[in-house]
Amino acid sequence: MIRSLFLTLCAAMCIHWAHAEDGSRLWLPTESNGQPAQINLKHSSPTLDIAADELRQFWHGQPVDLILKRDKSLKADGFSIRHTDKGLTLSSPHETGLLYAAYHLLRMQAAGETVNDTVVNPTYSLRILNHWDNPDGTIERGYAGKSLWQWAELPGKLSPRYQAYARANASIGINGTVLNNVNASPSILSDEYLQKVKALADVFRPYGIRVYLSVNFASPMVLDSLPTADPLDKNVIRWWKQKAKEIYRLIPDFGGFLVKANSEGQPGPCDYGRTHAEGANMLADALKPYDGIVMWRAFVYSPTDADRAKQAYQEFKPLDGEFRQNVIVQVKNGPIDFQPREPYSPLFGSMEHTPLMAEFQVTQEYLGHANHLAYLAPMWKEFFSLVPPSSIEAVAGVANIGSAANWCGHPFAQANWYAFGRLAWSPELSSGQIADEWLKQTFHMDNAEVKQMMLDSREAVVDYMMPLGLHHIFAWGHHYGPEPWCEIPGARPDWLPTYYHKADRQGLGFDRTSTGSDAVSQYPEALAKQYADLKACPEEYLLYFHHVPWTHRLKSGRTLWEELCYRYDRGVQQVRNFQKVWDKAEKQVDPERFLSVQSLLMTQARDAVWWKDACLLYFQEFSGMPIPYDIERPIHELKDLKKVQLPISNYECPTKEMLNERR
Amino acid sequence: MIRSLFLTLCAAMCIHWAHAEDGSRLWLPTESNGQPAQINLKHSSPTLDIAADELRQFWHGQPVDLILKRDKSLKADGFSIRHTDKGLTLSSPHETGLLYAAYHLLRMQAAGETVNDTVVNPTYSLRILNHWDNPDGTIERGYAGKSLWQWAELPGKLSPRYQAYARANASIGINGTVLNNVNASPSILSDEYLQKVKALADVFRPYGIRVYLSVNFASPMVLDSLPTADPLDKNVIRWWKQKAKEIYRLIPDFGGFLVKANSEGQPGPCDYGRTHAEGANMLADALKPYDGIVMWRAFVYSPTDADRAKQAYQEFKPLDGEFRQNVIVQVKNGPIDFQPREPYSPLFGSMEHTPLMAEFQVTQEYLGHANHLAYLAPMWKEFFSLVPPSSIEAVAGVANIGSAANWCGHPFAQANWYAFGRLAWSPELSSGQIADEWLKQTFHMDNAEVKQMMLDSREAVVDYMMPLGLHHIFAWGHHYGPEPWCEIPGARPDWLPTYYHKADRQGLGFDRTSTGSDAVSQYPEALAKQYADLKACPEEYLLYFHHVPWTHRLKSGRTLWEELCYRYDRGVQQVRNFQKVWDKAEKQVDPERFLSVQSLLMTQARDAVWWKDACLLYFQEFSGMPIPYDIERPIHELKDLKKVQLPISNYECPTKEMLNERR
């Protein structure tokens, strides 16, 4: 049944794609070559059938043999490809490996590359998406429509999107998905919802994808009225064991739990005087009989400490070695919160006895929502240049996927989903290689300037939003647009921009050296020394680690103030350049996606000017210096920009009309 | 009394000026030097007393003698300045000449120039403002608040602004003012209003300014229920004679009438089968006994002819020689209507037996209202380069003056009032000289870049609004912003932009050569030949005279389409450059006016982009060509720009907030 569903799906998509490109096919092949390729398969199974059908539909090359075989050089999901006199042989110890091999072939074909003999192993065995979807269909920090999961219709009705989703993920090697928000509703663990979860798991399974769930630590109290959620409480322990049994009866290959506890108001073990380890271990023990895991988030910070950047390390480092083997501590890439640039979190490399995994944010909460083109592979490669891939256990990506026809909101946002999967499999791939693959498969485009635009885009966002190590100066709540002046009476100081930029008459930036919060000391000695040295600190982290005088001279010879102005304006000019690059590519793109990206780049160009004007005019009140006169002047007045209030929630991206009306 | 009023006025203004610069002092001196200069005056009169007081208050130089004396080298308003061993002697046959001489001295002083012996005569004896003020206080195409004339308070209460207005005009040699809108309300001729007009005339008189009124041709019917306004009707003739008598009894030096008739719905002689000449002459005869004049406007066009540009000539040329001696035909500088650039009106130089006067528009109806910096002296000098000053009788300026504290809305708009006065007196002055004078007196500034900004500003507006001879493609009604696509069912074709730009798949522009409307033939032969020749026609008039193929190569080597794009973008870059120039001048300007101009330049920069994007995207629908890729891309979409509707009347300038919300 899956096979026929699959063929129907492909046929439907082919017909659809021939007529329009609304972005729904992602990077996946469309043209059936008419003549099914010769694919030989000794066994049949849902996964193997999918692999064979993909190749029959879309492979234009030599005959292919799919072979299940043990191989010492291959990990579970790994595969080998070998040329024989009859054609190609794809080989793997597991079915999913053959599925990945099939997608590998199709990827090479679309990229126009020669298929060489090769042995391919993923770096990580766990390559997982985190969906911050709520039961009501909203997606926290989601800008591509509503949640894919139609809870009201499940389990009876299965949207065709579930399979398309699974296919897309399998094609880039993603093998796990957490279905729900880390600000978790306990209801996800109710029997009613577990039936729905099972239905999804059943669709995903043949694609090699296991489901996981975010769990609310207080679930026993909410679902079954237990008087406590103390992880050492016998009844609580029993409750979770029972719940695990219930889950695995429905979903034998359920992956495990993702937990946000004692963070931003979420319940957790610390409510009962227990440690994170005690909380995690209780859950881990419940899942252990079923080979399930617990991914316990280290995103914790409380308003009582002086430097939020230090707190995850301060809370978790002492717990090193205390976690069960099936617990992975999940740590955001940086110590603050997914900023356009942050240093890496010093927890990485400091917990020698605890498996850590990195949490990347694919959805662009701080990089322009679904309006700005920002290719994030360079950000994740930057992380890997400081945190060796082999030093962590896995990577998770907070998804940018929703019910929008094009899945991700911005056509280029798809590239980040794609890049996350490719880097989760092969973190040694370069950003350029991945961009190349994606452009060829998604747009059938081989355009050096468009590729360069992608590679430059993250840095452009840094430039026009938060250059030189600035961070967390965006608008309250929805996080779209600049608000470095934000003042909200009674708000947590560490939620306000002024806490982070600390602008005053002397200068700008957060002193994290020994004269300040000394957060640098959490880094390895050599790095700490470099970061702490005003002259040696990489300029991209300058205002992250130092409070720098406005008149301080940087490498360029410009003062801090001048360099700030120059960077913001450079970001604006970069986006205008992207507009030129994209317009030049018009003939290479279908009209629908061309116009969509063109329109979004206009919004991005206007937003870049908005960010630049807001930040420079506000910081100028402290620097007291003129914006260098060779720089394009602001076209907004600060008092007007301060009035901008976008009428959006944390689950929405502002529309062009909203933005037009406001700045 | 006038003298004490005057001193009080000056004192009040001095105190005011010491504290803030809100633009209210215009270009006039503020610092009383404490020690009154030694000014010798043999006679006393209101005018002479003003002249002497101005010098006593503000002159810092040698003692001055004011002498009334006939002089063959001096016209009525002319004056001479001679150095003697005792000081300076100012001499004129008339009191007003001495008043102008006094202002001349003060102008030289403020400009830091040496006063040489000189003989100064005005080119025109009539140097007149036209106010388009309505009785209800609104000003048609007025963007600086309400009408200065407080009709409800007159004649009993005299606003101090009346005297300040008179002083400002006298300082630049303006000696006449038409108080009311050419779309005239008959009520201005009622006894009630004539009393108010008299009160104003009394204030203006000592400053050498005579009042004039716009009259509605149907006044006899409206005010006294005559059944007709036929200029040949005995009762009508008698009515006007009686009205003249009434006026001159109140205002012995009343100047005369300004008439808009049979134009845009205004009543006139043609309603009765009479000619313009017959209508004008009837009024002229009524005013003749009192030495009054009639200024009869040639701004006529009807929707039945194929080319509006031809109609004034077609209607008036045949009437050459038929007007009374005390009629002057008042002709707008160009054949269309005060566009950022138009050729001169071919009526100039073609009516050998009729005195003509030029009507310039000082208020910026088509050049950005009170939001855009556009120094118009270059426009008027351009006119004089084609129409020798000596070939016309007088010049009128449609005023940009209102109740706003700074009189004109935009601080730099004052320069156009000033320049109009200076050119009405001395059309041989250069735009640069006038800008120099004005900057020194108004801002105490000697800044070459700011001066150059002024000199470049008109051309920048042409570039970003209507380059290469485009005209009349602005928004319906209020005329602010671009609307080249404007379509209004049932509207007069010659009120719609498409009539003027005639964009189609082949090209752009209005064919006014022999293959089109042949409007060129109304020009002198050599000029007509040049304009008619696609290659010889000055490019600034190209699309005014020709329908030009998009692919036609211009002098630059670019195609028409490319050049259009280049010009629009050049205008945008120019305004951005103005912003830099002005910001650099910050230390040379008081904060209040600095910030005001800075803010307005931001609006202008945004408007320039709006104009560019709207026009290029719209015309691109016809050219089918890409905007050259070295040009900054649009940041608006045409469909969004088409939705822009500014909620303003013809009497208002859009506020920054309105504009922010809409584009």
Average pLDDT of chain A to the nearest whole number? 95
Of B602, B633, B656, the CB nearest to A583: B633
Q: Is A325 exposed, middle or buried (0-12, 13-18, 19+ CB in 10 A)?
A: exposed
Q: Could you tell me if B260 and B299 are in contact, meaning their C-beta atoms sit under 8 angstroms apart?
A: yes
Interface of B with A in 547-606 (CB under 8 A): 576, 579-580, 583-584, 586, 599, 601-602, 605-606
Please state the φ and ψ torsions of residue A497, each to the nearest 5 degrees.
-55, -35
State the smallest CA–CA distance between residue B194 and chain A in angstroms.
47
Chain B hits for A662, CB-CB cut-off 8 Å, are: 660-661
Q: Residues near A263 by Cβ (< 8 Å), separated by ≥ 6? A: A297, A299, A300, A301
For the segment B42-47, the average pLDDT, to the nearest whole number, is 93
Task: Please name the residue of chain A whose CA is at the shortest distance from the CA of residue B608.
Answer: A635
The answer to whether the Cβ–Cβ distance between A626 and B576 falls below 8 Å is no
* Torsion B16-B19-B25-B27 (CA) sign: positive
**A238 vs B: CB within 8 A:** no
Task: Please name the residue of chain A whose CA is at the shortest distance from the CA of residue B577.
Answer: A632
Is B264 a known active-site residue?
yes
The pLDDT tens digits of the residues spanning A521-546 come to 999 999 999 999 999 999 999 999 99
> Which pairs from A283-286 meet CB under 8 Å and 24+ separation?
A283/A215, A283/A231, A283/A240, A283/A257, A283/A259, A284/A323, A284/A324, A284/A326, A284/A327, A285/A237, A285/A241, A285/A324, A286/A237, A286/A240, A286/A241, A286/A243, A286/A244
Say how far residue B179 (Cα) sits from the centre of its chain: 14
Q: What is the pLDDT of residue B12?
A: 54
Kind of pairing between the strands at B88-92 and B118-120: unpaired
Q: Which tokens sit at A647? A: 């009428």
Residue B14 reports pLDDT greater than 70: no
Task: Please name the residue of chain A whose CA is at the shortest distance from the CA of residue B663.
Answer: A660
The answer to whether the Cβ–Cβ distance between A637 and B602 falls below 8 Å is yes
Secondary structure (3-state) at A491: coil
What's the rounded Cα separation, in Å, for the pair A345 and A351? 12
Stretch (H or E) spanning B89 = strand B88-92
Q: Residues near B411 by Cβ (< 8 Å), separated by ≥ 6? A: B23, B593, B596, B597, B600
For the segment B424-438, the average pLDDT, to the nearest whole number, is 98
Q: Could you tell me if A408 and A400 are in contact, meaning their C-beta atoms sit under 8 angstroms apart?
A: yes
Of B583, B637, B661, the CB nearest to A629: B583
Looking at chain A, the whole-number percentage of residues with pLDDT higher than 90 is 90
The pLDDT tens digits of the residues spanning A77-94 come to 999 999 999 999 999 999
At position B230, the amino acid (one-letter code) is: D
- pLDDT-derived band at B34 (thresholds 50, 70, 90) equals confident
Q: Catalytic pick from B113, B153, B192, B264?
A: B264
Stretch (H or E) spanning B360 = strand B356-361
Q: Which of A608, A603, A574, A480 is nearest to B636 (CA)?
A: A603
The answer to whether the Cβ–Cβ distance between B640 and A663 falls below 8 Å is no
Q: Which tokens sit at A64? A: 């292919």
State the smallest CA–CA distance between residue A630 and chain B in angstroms.
8
What's the rounded Cα separation, in Å, for the pair A485 and B314? 64
Residue B606 reports pLDDT greater than 70: yes
Secondary structure (3-state) at A524: coil
Is B337 a known active-site residue?
yes
- pLDDT-derived band at B43 (thresholds 50, 70, 90) equals confident
**A634 vs B: CB within 8 A:** yes
- Give the C-alpha distances (Å, rounded to integers) separating A330 from A294, A489, A514, B245: 9, 33, 28, 98
What's the rounded Cα separation, in Å, for the pair B501 and B310? 16
At position B216, the amino acid (one-letter code) is: N
The β-bridge partners of B331 are B358
What's the rounded Cα separation, in Å, for the pair A98 and B153? 94
- Strands of B93-142 (E only): list them: 118-120, 127-130
Of B579, B627, B660, the CB nearest to A633: B579
**A637 vs B: CB within 8 A:** yes
Lowest mean pLDDT across A231-245, A619-633, B10-24, B594-608: B10-24
DSSP secondary structure code for residue A266 in this structure: -
Length of chain A: 663
Say how far residue A460 (Cα) sits from the centre of its chain: 19
Q: Which of B439, B443, B460 is nearest to B373 (CA)?
A: B460
Say how far residue B386 (Cα) sits from the centre of its chain: 18
Secondary structure (3-state) at B336: coil
- Give the C-alpha distances (Å, rounded to integers) separating B408 from A312, B148, B372, B417: 61, 11, 12, 8
For the segment A512-527, the average pLDDT, to the nearest whole number, is 97
What's the rounded Cα separation, in Å, for the pair B585 and B447? 8
Q: What is the pLDDT of residue A18?
A: 44
- pLDDT-derived band at A5 (thresholds 50, 70, 90) equals low
The pLDDT tens digits of the residues spanning B188-227 come to 999 999 999 999 999 999 999 999 999 999 999 999 999 9
- pLDDT-derived band at B33 (thresholds 50, 70, 90) equals low
Predicted ipTM? 0.91
The β-bridge partners of A553 are A559
Q: Catalytic pick from B253, B320, B337, B539?
A: B337
Q: What is the pLDDT of residue A194?
A: 98
Q: Could you tell me if A279 and A268 are in contact, meaning their C-beta atoms sit under 8 angstroms apart?
A: yes
The pLDDT tens digits of the residues spanning B254-277 come to 999 999 999 988 999 999 999 999
Q: What is the pLDDT of residue B19?
A: 47
Q: Could you tell me if B614 and B640 are in contact, meaning their C-beta atoms sit under 8 angstroms apart?
A: no
The pLDDT tens digits of the residues spanning B85-115 come to 999 999 999 999 999 999 999 999 998 999 9
Q: Which of B314, B213, B215, B191 is nearest to B267 (CA)?
A: B215
Interface of A with B in 602-631 (CB under 8 A): 602, 605-606, 626-627, 629-630
Other beta carbons less than 10 A from residue A306's beta carbon: 14
Residue B120 reports pLDDT greater than 50: yes
3-state secondary structure B13-77: HHHHHHHCCCCCCCCCCCCCCCCCCCEEECCCCHHHHHHHHHHHHHCCCCCEEEEECCCCCCCCC
Q: Could you tell me if B320 and B351 are in contact, meaning their C-beta atoms sit under 8 angstroms apart?
A: yes
Task: Please name the residue of chain A whose CA is at the shortest distance from the CA of residue B573.
Answer: A632
For the segment A564-590, the average pLDDT, to the nearest whole number, is 98
The β-bridge partners of B82 are B89
Model pTM score: 0.94
B87 torsion bin: left (phi>0), alpha (psi -120 to 50), beta (else): left
Q: Could you tell me if A387 and A344 are in contact, meaning their C-beta atoms sit under 8 angstroms apart?
A: yes
Look at A12 and B342; give whichever has higher pLDDT: B342
What's the rounded Cα separation, in Å, for the pair B184 and B173? 26
What's the rounded Cα separation, in Å, for the pair A296 and A279? 9
Radius of gyration of chain B (CA): 25
- Strands of A472-543 (E only): list them: 507-508
Q: Could you tell me if A354 and A344 are in contact, meaning their C-beta atoms sit under 8 angstroms apart?
A: no
Q: Which of B191, B173, B182, B242 is nearest to B212 (CA)?
A: B182
- Give the C-alpha distances (Å, rounded to integers) separating A655 from A599, B163, B302: 11, 54, 46
Q: Could you tell me if A92 and A112 are in contact, meaning their C-beta atoms sit under 8 angstroms apart?
A: no
The pLDDT tens digits of the residues spanning B515-572 come to 999 999 999 999 999 999 999 999 999 999 999 999 999 999 999 999 999 999 999 9
State the smallest CA–CA distance between residue B402 and chain A in angstroms.
26
Q: Could you tell me if A54 and A105 are in contact, meaning their C-beta atoms sit under 8 angstroms apart?
A: no
Residue B15 reports pLDDT greater than 80: no
Of A579, A635, A660, the CB nearest to B633: A579
Residue B17 reports pLDDT greater than 50: no
What's the rounded Cα separation, in Å, for the pair A355 and A349? 10
- Give the C-alpha distances (Å, rounded to integers) separating A457 from A61, A450, B359, B480, B518: 36, 10, 55, 37, 55
Q: Which tokens sit at A185? A: 């509703």
The answer to whether the Cβ–Cβ distance between A602 and B663 falls below 8 Å is no
Of A576, A626, A640, the CB nearest to B633: A576
DSSP secondary structure code for residue A272 in this structure: G
Chain B hits for A586, CB-CB cut-off 8 Å, are: 626
Lowest mean pLDDT across A602-606, B14-18, B172-176, B196-200: B14-18
Looking at chain A, the whole-number percentage of residues with pLDDT higher than 70 is 96
Is A563 a known active-site residue?
no
Chain A hits for B633, CB-CB cut-off 8 Å, are: 576, 579-580, 583, 601-602, 605
Counting Cα atoms < 13 Å in the Cβ hemisphere of A364 gives 31
Residue B388 reports pLDDT greater than 50: yes
The β-bridge partners of A90 are A66, A81
DSSP secondary structure code for residue A110 in this structure: H
Domains of chain A from N-terminus onward: 2-120 (3.30.379), 127-429 (3.20.20.80), 463-510+547-662 (3.90.1330.10)
Chain B hits for A635, CB-CB cut-off 8 Å, are: 602, 605-606
Q: Could you tell me if A250 and A259 are in contact, meaning their C-beta atoms sit under 8 angstroms apart?
A: no
